[in-house]
Amino acid sequence: MTKARKSSRDGRTRAAPPAGRGGGRQLGRQWGGRAWRLALLLGGVLLGLLVPWVAYLDHQVRTEFEGRKWDLPSRVFARSLDLYPGAPLSLKDLEVELRVSGYHRVDQAARPGQYRVSGSTAEIHRRPFEFPDAAEAAQRIEVRFAGPSIARVRDAQQGADLDLARLDPAEIASIYPLQKEDRTLVDIEQVPPLLVTGLQAVEDRHFKQHPGVDLSGIARAALANLKAGRAVQGGSTLTQQLVKNFFLTQDRTFIRKFNEALMALLLEYHYDKAEILEAYLNEVFLGQQGAYAVHGFGRASLFYFDQPLERLEPQQIALLIGVVRGPSYYNPRKHPQRARERRDQVLNMFAETGLLTAAEAQAARAAPLGVSETPRTHGSRYHAFIDLVRGQLAQVYREEDLRSEGLRIFTTLSPSEQEKAQAAVSDGLRALADRGLPATLQGALVLADVASGEVRALVGDRDGSRAGFNRALHARRQIGSVVKPLVYLLALEHEADYNLLTRIEDAPLTLRQADGTNWQPANYDGVSHGEVTLLEALTQSYNQATVRLGLNIGVNHLLERLRQLGVDAAVDAVPSVFLGAVELTPLEVTQIYQSLAAAGYSVPLRSVIAVQTAEGDELVRYPLRMLPQPRREAISVLNYALTQVVEQGTASRLPGLLGSDAIVAGKTGTTNDRRDSWFVGYTRSRIAVAWVGDDDNRPAGVTGSNAAMHIWAGLFRQLPLEPVDLRMPDGAFWLWVDPASGRLSAERCGGAVQLPYVEGSEPREASDCLAAAREQDKESIWRKLFGKKQ
Amino acid sequence: MARSNENHCGLNRLFAAAAAALLLSACAGWTPPADTPGAAPEEEVESRVREPARQDSAGVQVFPLQNPAVKELLADASAAETAGDYGQAAVLLERALRIQPRDPEILQNMAEVQLQVKDYEQALNFAVRSYDSGPRVGEICSRNWRTISVARERLDDANGAREAKERAAACMNTPPQSY
């Protein structure tokens, strides 16, 4: 503009009349000619400037439109729940799962996303969902329960029994773009037609005809505004609004408007109406959820109604269209009355333009707003688990891709088990405080599926809503006696020297340490127990016996075994390692014990199963892969010994806490000065590690059995307790033996017990009872043979 | 329209890099192992594992009773395998294993799928796991050891392969126990 003014001044200078020439008419003609020339010149100059300006805007708007890379948050899903007869799931658990998945309990499950319960039967109207392996349509599934498990599954529509069905997984978190936008893309082909036509009826009636700018619309708006004496109508077309949204500016200057209009014309020149409308549907700002801006109708539908766009009723579509004008002013949760008036206004326009009949519009006006009470919040309850997911994905993806590519991440989390795990930690620590332990104690809990290594729940803080230090992943603490089973495992691998009844010495010992001081490990009860069996030493967690055994094995062998079991921590090769002077996280301890619980079939713990693009194409899958441990027969024998820790050892109070005699394996752990309390335990299907301690590593008065075991029991009281698998693999077997002498015995001999042995470690000598029984058998065979002959 | 092609390309490049990283990572995602020239494992599974095991057992089968949900998944997995979609077969078998993690039939089928995709180490592991938790006699035992034999052979363990083949023959020596 400055240049243009300068040019016109130049023109005037050049056109200045020579002094004393010509009269008034001449002057007039002269001026007329000059004005003409001036206009031409001006026009030329303007055009010369406008062309590059337009070219510049054209480049900008096309780059924005074509290169538009909407940053889409990644969606994180829980595991999908399989429903089949016999599945260990109660109606109560199912309801937790449904609630987390955003299902609504109603009297008639008429629409997907609803369910009803009558007696011990639930009817679920399952939503359609693209599972990682296949897409499944909406389905009405009836599930009948018999106590803690599913008795029958039926297709409620067709009445046929189903062998297997599944629920769409709960969306448990979103990993948002850094600029904090939340968006779910929609395809114009798939949005309800009423949204497409209704939007035009309300915002831009000439959308189909105008070239990007609607002069008649502007005139009409100007007139309306003039009449009202204030701005009541906007003349912007949808295209102009889209441009405005692209460049996100509140600047309302003339220049800005002019640029917007120009860009709108350019957009229309390059792209067709459908493309522009689709971009609009995905771009327009429709609300604010905390720090996240809700963009586009796809997300707005979930945000306001907890329903996908294609399932909205006319009045809900009308509300969304109404909100376009002012998402904050017409916020239906904050200003329901105002929003309702606006919605009804929109419904009237629908009727006016024939999109709805008068009767339909009236029915729609009569309907309530239908906005869900609170928008579904993601992540607040699951951030500890999401930390683990991010950790696993960080090996493959950059943080910015997780935040922008709209990935669909399928995880292993079980929402109902997570809820139970968090309650076990929170309630358990409160109960411990009531019993006199410090109220500031913290806790962590990891729950995984034994065979698959899939992490089902993870708790990193006593307060589940607090996102901060995640103790399950990051609290590196001494593990105490939790390490001992590995010392005994190594002994059992030496089948020529050890079996569970081998006697070892539990007596004081003094070891000289590297710094010249002496180390004299003591037992927890302060007493040395003399000669004890391996089994006793382990189940009673005797320190002196364990250190002696360890010294025979060698500390380096133990460290090597830890590495084989997946622990990659730097550990000093000193004898105190035998008593757990190893600092590990609860997650690492879970990995070690998963191998034991799965009878030596190690599986790397997993929190992610598959990752897909926003379009549903598989990017990566983390399949079940087994890494078998060496000497699995010794692991199976050890498993039995760990069930005896619960049966008769340091965890003997566990069955009482669980209220069950199911065969469970476990190990307690306590560290020096009662700083850390550990409990590791497993059933046939689930393994969990619980830790309790003080964040500053102060003495906390805790032991494995007085703190962590209570939390573990608090969780497993609520889970199905499948007995530990005690079948021996090749290379190990069960024998009847006499526990006092360690010799072979028989079932009928008094005091005989059945114990597992690694092949080659079994006793050869028979007990007196067995020897006598064999003699008897021989005689009886002779008698039978003799008898027959007679 | 909304998401330009450029984005996809960018993403693809990213994932190509990611795939390379994966191969190096211990927690690797699934990548089919490189093809071995001359190997025809599709036929091998039928001719060297299933068919001889069927003949060995002469119709005697020792399977635990199966959950109908597992049966359905096994049938779907088998259909996927016949169609050559081993990835899908593995996904379905894994889903079945979530329901019955120690079912020898599911584990053995998984071992055979791993043989098909030439992941011999996993084929070996699943077959051993199946044997450990299975009846250790009869047809499935024979399939276990025949799979182990083929896998060991591919992993250049000729002695181990021969030994496994002998074990397969021994599966029929002991009369099937009730399970």
Partners of residue B1 in chain A, C-beta under 8 Å: 275, 278-279
Highest-confidence range of A27-31, A732-736, B137-141, by mean pLDDT? A732-736
- Position A283 in a domain: yes
Q: For chains A and B, count residue pairs whose Cβ atoms are closer than 8 Å.
A: 124
* CB within 8 Å: B1 and A279: yes
* CB within 8 Å: B99 and A625: no
* CB within 8 Å: A163 and B69: yes
CATH classification of the domain holding A114: 3.30.2060.10
* CB within 8 Å: A164 and B102: no
CATH classification of the domain holding A229: 1.10.3810.10
The pLDDT-based confidence of A27 (bands split at 50, 70, 90) is low
Q: Is A203 labeled as catalytic in the residue annotation?
A: yes
Closest approach of A69 to chain B, Cα-based (Å): 6
Same domain, residue pair A281 and A350: yes
Distance CA A222, CA A240 (A): 17
* CB within 8 Å: A395 and B128: no
Lowest mean pLDDT among A247-261, A291-305, B107-121: A247-261
Residues whose CB is less than 8 angstroms from the CB of residue A575 and which lie 6 or more positions away in sequence, other chains included: A511, A519, A547, A550, A551, A555
Lowest mean pLDDT among A15-19, A355-359, A680-684, B116-120: A15-19
What CATH architecture applies to the domain B41-170? Alpha Horseshoe (1.25)
Closest approach of B83 to chain A, Cα-based (Å): 15
Same domain, residue pair A126 and A223: no
Question: What pLDDT was estimated at residue A23?
Answer: 45
The pLDDT-based confidence of B32 (bands split at 50, 70, 90) is very low
Judged by DSSP in three states, B144 sits in helix
> E strands of A8-164, at which residues?
74-77, 82-83, 104-105, 114-118, 121-126, 129-130, 135-136, 139-146, 149-155
Same domain, residue pair A353 and A216: yes
- Position A634 in a domain: no
| pLDDT tens track for A478-489 | 999 999 999 999
Closest approach of A379 to chain B, Cα-based (Å): 25
Residues whose CB is less than 8 angstroms from the CB of residue A352 and which lie 6 or more positions away in sequence, other chains included: A201
Residues A203, A283, A536, A647: which is the catalytic one?
A203
DSSP annotation of B50: I
Q: Which of B8, B124, B129 has the highest number of chain A CBs within 10 A, making it the mutation to test binding with A?
A: B129
Judged by DSSP in three states, A543 sits in helix
Partners of residue A401 in chain B, C-beta under 8 Å: 11, 14
Same domain, residue pair A135 and A192: no
Which among B2, B7, B26 is the nearest to A279, CB-wise? B2
* CB within 8 Å: A401 and B133: no
Partners of residue B97 in chain A, C-beta under 8 Å: 451-452, 624
More confident residue, A713 or B30: A713
Closest residue, chain A, to B94 (C-alpha): A624
Question: What pLDDT was estimated at residue B15?
Answer: 38
Closest residue, chain A, to B24 (C-alpha): A395
Lowest mean pLDDT among A100-104, A126-130, A426-430, A431-435: A100-104
| pLDDT tens track for A625-675 | 999 999 999 999 999 999 999 999 999 999 999 999 999 999 999 988 889
Same domain, residue pair A60 and A191: no
| Number of independent structural domains in chain A | 4
Same domain, residue pair A212 and A317: yes
Residue B109 tokens read as 């089928």
Distance CA A448, CA A588 (A): 12
- Position A247 in a domain: yes
Partners of residue B2 in chain A, C-beta under 8 Å: 68, 70, 185, 278-279, 282
- Position A612 in a domain: no
Closest approach of A165 to chain B, Cα-based (Å): 9
* CB within 8 Å: B97 and A452: yes
Partners of residue A409 in chain B, C-beta under 8 Å: none
pLDDT, averaged across chain A: 89
- Cα A665 to Cα A224, A598, B109: the distances in Å are 79, 12, 30
Q: Which of A70, A143, A154, A163 has the highest number of chain B CBs within 10 A, making it the mutation to test binding with B?
A: A163
Q: Is A171 labeled as catalytic in the residue annotation?
A: no
Partners of residue B72 in chain A, C-beta under 8 Å: 163-164
pTM metric for this prediction: 0.81
**Residue A767, class by beta-carbon neighbours within 10 Å (0-12 exposed, 13-18 middle, 19+ buried)?**
buried
Which among B11, B68, B88 is the nearest to A133, CB-wise? B88
Contact between A213 and A204 under an 8 Å Cβ cutoff? The reply is no
Same domain, residue pair A94 and A125: yes
Contact between A752 and A736 under an 8 Å Cβ cutoff? The reply is yes
pLDDT at B30 over 50: no
CA dihedral for A342, A315, A614, A112, sign (positive or negative): positive
Same domain, residue pair A268 and A331: yes
More confident residue, A782 or A483: A483
Same domain, residue pair A55 and A187: no
Contact between A393 and A402 under an 8 Å Cβ cutoff? The reply is yes
Question: What pLDDT was estimated at residue A711?
Answer: 97
Determine the structural domain holding residue A219 and report its residue range: 181-366
Partners of residue A66 in chain B, C-beta under 8 Å: 4
Can you spell out the DSSP letters for A166-213? Answer: EPPPPEEEEE--TT-EEE----TTTS-HHHHHHHHHHH-TTTTTSSS-
**Residue A589, class by beta-carbon neighbours within 10 Å (0-12 exposed, 13-18 middle, 19+ buried)?**
buried
Distance CA A729, CA A642 (A): 17
Instruction: Provide the β-strand partners of residue A617.
Output: none
Is the ipTM of this structure higher than 0.85? no
Alpha helices in A367-502 (DSSP H): 383-393, 399-404, 415-434, 471-474, 484-493
Q: Which of A175, A206, A230 is the last residue of a domain?
A: A175
The pLDDT-based confidence of A177 (bands split at 50, 70, 90) is confident
Closest approach of A625 to chain B, Cα-based (Å): 7
Residue A366 tokens read as 């009569």
Judged by DSSP in three states, B73 sits in helix
Partners of residue A69 in chain B, C-beta under 8 Å: 3-4, 6-7
Question: What pLDDT was estimated at residue B43?
Answer: 58
Which among A87, A613, A626 is the nearest to B125, CB-wise? A626
Distance CA A692, CA A172 (A): 27
Partners of residue B68 in chain A, C-beta under 8 Å: 84-85, 163-164
Closest approach of B44 to chain A, Cα-based (Å): 22
Q: Which of A150, A278, A395 has the highest number of chain B CBs within 10 A, making it the mutation to test binding with B?
A: A395
Residues A414, A481, A607, A677: which is the catalytic one?
A481
Q: For the range A339-342, what are the long-range contacts, defined as Cβ-Cβ under 8 Å and sequence gap of 24 or more?
A: A339/A369, A340/A369
* CB within 8 Å: B125 and A627: yes
| pLDDT tens track for A456-472 | 999 999 998 887 899 99
Q: Which of A111, A142, A175 is the last residue of a domain?
A: A175
Q: Which of A242, A401, A601 has the highest number of chain B CBs within 10 A, making it the mutation to test binding with B?
A: A601
- At position B131, the amino acid (one-letter code) is Y
Distance CA A153, CA B85 (A): 29
A89 phi and psi angles, rounded to 5 deg:
-145, 130
Which among A67, A392, A625 is the nearest to B4, CB-wise? A67
Tell me how far apart the terminal alpha carbons of chain A are, to the nearest angstrom: 133
Which among A84, A164, A275 is the nearest to B1, CB-wise? A275
Same domain, residue pair A200 and A52: no
Closest approach of B117 to chain A, Cα-based (Å): 13
* CB within 8 Å: B3 and A275: no
Q: Beta strand pairing status for A292-295 and A181-183?
A: parallel
pLDDT at B176 over 70: no
Distance CA A300, CA A184 (A): 8
pLDDT at A198 over 80: yes
Highest-confidence range of A243-247, A402-406, B117-121, by mean pLDDT? B117-121
| pLDDT tens track for A316-330 | 999 999 999 999 999
Residue % of chain A over a pLDDT of 70? 93
pLDDT at A385 over 50: yes
Partners of residue A155 in chain B, C-beta under 8 Å: none
Contact between B95 and B73 under an 8 Å Cβ cutoff? The reply is yes
Closest residue, chain B, to A401 (C-alpha): B11
Question: What pLDDT was estimated at residue A60?
Answer: 83
Contact between A384 and A470 under an 8 Å Cβ cutoff? The reply is yes
- Position A467 in a domain: no
Same domain, residue pair A159 and A119: yes
Distance CA A525, CA A670 (A): 13
Q: Which of B12, B15, B88, B92 has the highest number of chain A CBs within 10 A, making it the mutation to test binding with A?
A: B15
Same domain, residue pair A194 and A324: yes
- Position A401 in a domain: no
Please count the other Cβ atoms lying within 10 Å of the Cβ belonging to residue A563.
12
